[in-house]
Amino acid sequence: MKINLAGLMLCTFLVACGGTAPFGEETDVVEDGDEEIIESDRTVPPGTANPTSDDLIFRKEARDDEGGNGFATGVSYNSEDDTFSVDNLPFDGSDDTPYIRGRAVGSLGQYAVYEAVEQYPDSANGSTINQFTHRAIYGVSRSGQTEFAIVRSGAYVNYGFGGFVYQRNGDVDLPTTGQALYNGQGAGLRDYNGRGGLEYSTADVQIAIDFGDFNADTGQYEGAVDGFVFNRRIFSQDGTEITQNVLDRINEGNNASLQSVPTIVFRIGPDALDVNGEIVGTLGSRFGNDSGQAVTYEEGNYYGIISGDGANEIVGVIVAETGVDPSADNVRDTIGFTIYREDRE
């Protein structure tokens, strides 16, 4: 399916548009999420301490001791039995009970879904201990050169403990002129702050990169990044689509008539792209209510890495949070994606 970028660009100006392979090595990560790993005006997530364009880059969600972000460690996919391992999350089983392929929802598009065990025995007497709800999404690109994973829990009143990781396994030959368009799909986990609950999300993801501008006035590589997350859908844990249910309560609480989840739009500015192929920036979404007022729906960030000899794929994670859903204080959508720069037919 071909997507018209020019049509999507209009949304920028409108109020409403609808063997185990572990991630990274612990010896090569920076634990301080506030440290600027690359010399620039921006901050990338913790991970590879000295990234280059010629090698693996690993990133993980910055740890927040109060909010529970970034606690997931030891993330790995086990190809021999199609299971998924995560460490450092309480009450999600143990080392002998990895996450299994989701029973009600085993995949979201091309991305695999895994779930933790529901019960675990007392190690002394075998008594049954109920475990917390945990879900993981794992994605690997068609080339195998990029991958991501997201782990969230719906068992806490607040967001709870989880995390995300994303990784480039090879190198990138990054252009210094011209532009590129990437298309594909994303899949995510929605969790709630103010009540328990966990849901799935899907979307189309499109990113455009101008490799020639902004100019590198600071002596750094400064391209520009634009992007959209659209055709967004929401599903319950049993796989039932609940997009309209979510829209109904948002409309009721905000005097609105939304017919689709608002499109996420990347904010364009300098320092979004570096010479190693990493992209970071902010994003948001808005809609117009029935009184003609613009309402901010979401605020958040995007993180990603470009890969390939032709800079032909991007892996990344988008985190967008809304405070206008009346069912909770906040709702967070964490979306992973692998998208591609396709040859024209």
Predicted local distance difference test score (pLDDT) of residue 2 = 31
**Inter-residue long-range contacts of 23-28, CB under 8 Å, 24+ positions, other chains counted:** 23/58, 23/60, 23/75, 23/76, 23/147, 23/149, 23/165, 23/166, 23/167, 24/48, 24/56, 24/58, 24/60, 24/165, 24/167, 25/58, 26/73, 28/58
Q: What is the pLDDT of residue 213?
A: 86
Residue 99, phi then psi, degrees to nearest 5: -65, 140
Q: Largest Cα–Cα distance in the chain?
A: 67
Domain ranges of the chain: 5-340
* φ, ψ dihedrals at 117, nearest 5°: -65, 155
Q: What is the pLDDT of residue 215?
A: 75
C-alpha 246/C-alpha 326 separation (Å) is 10
Report how far residue 292's alpha carbon sits from residue 288's, in angstroms, rounded to the nearest whole number: 6
* List of residues 6+ apart from 122 with CB closer than 8 A: 128, 129
For residue 24, what pLDDT is reported?
A: 52
Dihedral over Cα of 208, 214, 218, 221: its sign: positive
Give the model's pLDDT for residue 224: 93
How high is the pLDDT of residue 22?
A: 43
Q: Minimal CA–CA distance to 9: which of 179, 257, 185?
A: 179
Which pLDDT tens digit goes with each residue over 154-206?
999 999 999 999 999 999 999 989 999 999 999 999 999 999 999 999 999 99
Q: How many CB atoms sit inside 10 A of residue 5's CB? A: 14
* H or E stretch covering 243: helix 243-254
Q: What kind and span of H or E run contains 244? A: helix 243-254
- 271 beta partners: none
- pLDDT value for 193: 97
Q: Which segments of the chain have a pLDDT < 70? A: 1-42, 216-221, 344-345
